[in-house]
Amino acid sequence: MSDIGLLYVGAVLIINGVMLLGVMTGRDAAPLNLFVGAMQVFTPTMMVVGAQGDDAVILAASGLYLFGFTYLWVGINALAGLPARGLGWFSLFVAVAAIGFAGATWAQGGRVFVVIWILWAVLWMLFFLVLGLEKQGLTRFTGAVAVTEGIGTAAIPAWLSLTGGLRDSDTLALVYAVAAVLVLPILYALTRVRTAGSSSAEAVAPGVG
């Protein structure tokens, strides 16, 4: 994923997370989902066209489509008032695929983005639980995780990479992994307090990213 694309993935995850926390509606979040979704479909398409058979480039492009299709689906759902179950099951596909991309990243020598791909797999699995299986009690937790990952796995790495400050290493990957193990249970505990007031899965579907 390009640094610019990753930066705006951070933005849309934050917006969608805020929506899941009940601060805005799905229609409020729809425009940014459509903008970022379109970018995440156009960019990999251009990469594939210019790849000239380069398997590494095609692999990188295929990962972008996972997110592009998600955000476009989110935006369309929000504007058209469509049911969310299909988006939920697609999120399961994304979650499983993300584990595969984590393995491919490891094989290519990456370390930090192995952890980041795994964290994205966790987030999309939560989208599956909330939308595909309608686990309403996880709505606010999913929103909090989306905001946190939008900042920590997208916006910050993108900014550091754009400014030349990102240095991949086993140590940084370990820091990410430990932070995730510590932060996720805290977010769960904090958001469970208001679980009883969560919206239904159908209502929150348009804002999932």
- pLDDT digit string, tens, across residues 159-185: 999 998 888 999 999 999 999 999 999
Q: How many C-beta atoms lie closer than 10 Å to residue 186's C-beta?
A: 11
Residue 53 clears pLDDT 90, i.e. is over it: no
pLDDT-derived band at 2 (thresholds 50, 70, 90) equals: confident
The domain tally of the chain equals 1
Q: 197 pLDDT exceeds 80?
A: no
Domain range for 12: 3-207
| Model pLDDT for residues 105-152, shown as the tens digit of each residue | 999 999 999 999 999 999 999 999 999 999 999 999 999 999 999 999
Rounded alpha-carbon distances, angstroms, from residue 8 to 21, 82, 88, 168, 170: 20, 25, 22, 21, 26
Give the Cβ contact number of residue 22 at 10 Å: 17
What are 71-117's pLDDT values in tens digits?
A: 999 999 999 999 999 999 999 999 999 999 999 999 999 999 999 99
Interior angle at CA 145, CA 140 and CA 149, nearest 5: 150
pLDDT for 134 equals 93
Q: Output the pTM of the full model.
A: 0.90
**CATH classification of the domain holding 73:** 1.25.40.600
Element (H, E) at 91: helix 85-107
pLDDT in the model for residue 6: 94
Query: What number is the average pLDDT over the span 197-206?
Result: 41
How confident is residue 67, by pLDDT bands cut at 50, 70 and 90? very high
Q: How far apart are CA 71 and CA 76, in angstroms?
A: 9
Q: How many residues does the chain have?
A: 209
How far is it, in rounded angstroms, from Cα 139 to Cα 161? 31
